[in-house]
Structure 1
Amino acid sequence: MALSADDLDPAIWNDDAARDYRRGVAWMYEPEVLDPAVDALATLAGDGPALEFAIGTGRVGLALQQRGVEVHGIEFSQPMVDELRRQPDGDRIPVVVGDMASATTTARAPGGFALVYLVFNTISNLLTQEQQVACFRNAAAHLAPGGAFAIETFVPELRRLGVGERFLAFDVSDEHLGFDEYDTVSQLLVSHHVDVRPGHEGVFRSPHRYAWPSELDLMAQLAGLTSESRWADWTGAEFTAESASHVSVWRKPA
C-alpha cells in the first residue's frame, strides 16, 4: 500500500519522545559532530540574530547562544519546548510554538534575522511539497536583506533500493535497529527505530518527505533566495555524487 501524508501523523514529538530525545541522539552532542555545525552557523550569523526552525530541545540553539549569537526558535511540539526550558539557559531563548511553515516570531519583527536554519533532516518533517515551499517562504520573510537560510538534510539513498524493494537498513547494533521504508511514488519514507536494549524495548516511527538538492534549490528560487554554497557536511567538505547528506545555504538579495 502506498504511503500518503494523511496517513503519517507528524505529532510524534510527545512527552516520551522529548524526554528520551537526548539519549536517542547522544552521538549528535559529541564535540566532533556539534562543534562544526555551531562554527558554521556562527559564521553565517555574524553579528546578527539567528532563528532556528524546529529548535526542539535546543541541541544546536543552546550551543550557538553560548557563542554569543542571539538565538530565537520556532517549534511545533510543546513537550520539546518544555524540555528545552529544563536545560541550562533554556529560558533565555524566545520560542514560538507553531508550524515552521507559517509561524511568525513575536520577540523580533519578521525580516530582522541574519540567519534562519534547520538541522538534521528537519525540512523532511514537512510531509508535502507545498508545506516545504511554504517553509522556504517563511524563512525568506524572516530574513534581513543579505541574510542566509541554511539547511542540513540527507540525500535519498534510492540507488541502494533494488527493484521492488522498500526497506533500507541505516543502523544495526546491539542496542538499536534502524530501517527506512521508502515509497517512491509519494516521495515519502518512514524511519523505523527499534530499541532492543533489555528493559527498554520499543518502537519509534518518524515520517519524512525526501527531496533532492535540486528540488530544494527550486524551492529557494520560488522564495526569492539565491544559492550560495553546498557542502557534504558542516566541516565544509566537498559535496559529491557519493555524499549521503548536504548542508545548503541560500541568500536573500541585499
Structure 2
Amino acid sequence: MFNRKAKILIPGFNITDLRINFKIEKSLVGYPNLGNIKIYNLSESSRNNIEAKGLKLQLFAGYEDVSVPLLFTGDIINVVHLKTGPDWISEVFAADGVNILSTATINKTLPAGMDTAQIYNELVSQMKGITKGATEGLKNFLSGKRSLLRELQLSGNIKDWLDKLAMDCGFEYSVNDEVIETTPSGYPLSDVPPVVINQKTGMIGSPERTEIGINVSHLLLPELKLARTIRVESISAKLNVGNLFYRKIPPIRNKGIYRIDKLIHTGDTHDNPWTTQISARVF
C-alpha cells in the first residue's frame, strides 16, 4: 500500500520486498511482548532455515518518507508454513526477551547495606542479552532509603526476584526490545514529551473513555513506547465502563494526558490494516 514500509531482520535473512502481515502486542501487565508475523512466499530454503532454534527477529515498520523505526524484537518460538492458493505463508510466533526471562537464574549472596537500586542492578547484570534502560521507578530508593539489614541470598529465577522487588518497593518494570525499564507504579516515564493524538495526526474515530483511562485508535505510530505519555485532543469521546446499573459514570475526558499501558500494532504491507490501538490510563 502507498507509503507503507516494513522489513524483517533475522540472522541470515533481510526481508524487504515480500508481503508482511503483523500483529504486535505490548503491555505493562507482566508478560512478554508478543509478535505474530506472517511472511509471504519465502523460498523453500528460507522456510527451512527460519525454523532453526534460537533465532531472533526484528520487525521494522513505518512510512517511506522517514527512517523506518524498530517496532518489535523477539525470540522466535514457533514457525508454521501454510500453502494457501498460490502463496506460501510462513507464520512466525515470537516473544520479546522470553528466553532470557524464563531461563536466567542467579545464585549469589548480597552483603548487608545494599539498597534497592544496587539489588536491581545486580539482578539485571545477570540477564545476559538484556540492556538496562530507564530507571525512574527506582528514584525514590537511590539515596539508600531502603537497604538490607542483613545479607541476602539470591537463588533461583531472576524474574521471580524482580517481581518480588517490584512489589515490595512499589515500582513496575517491563522488557521492550530487550531493554528493561522501571517506572513508579501507576506513573509514566518522563524521558520524552507526550505524543499528540488528534484527528489531524491520524486518530481514527473518537477515543473511548474507560474506568481507568482511555482507548484510542490511530494510524500506525511505531514511535510510541510503553509507560510514556500521549496527549489526546478530541471534540468527543465514547464511554465504555460496563454495566451502568452498577457503576458510576466517570467524567468523560476527551482531552488530557495519559500513560500508555498497552499497544497493539497491526499492519499489512499489501492490505488495509496499518494501525495502532492504544490503551492508556489517568495518572
Provide TM-score, normalisation by structure 1: 0.25
Comparing both structures, which one devotes a greater share of its residues to strand? 2
Comparing both structures, which one devotes a greater share of its residues to helix? 1
Provide TM-score, normalisation by structure 2: 0.23
Larger radius of gyration: 2
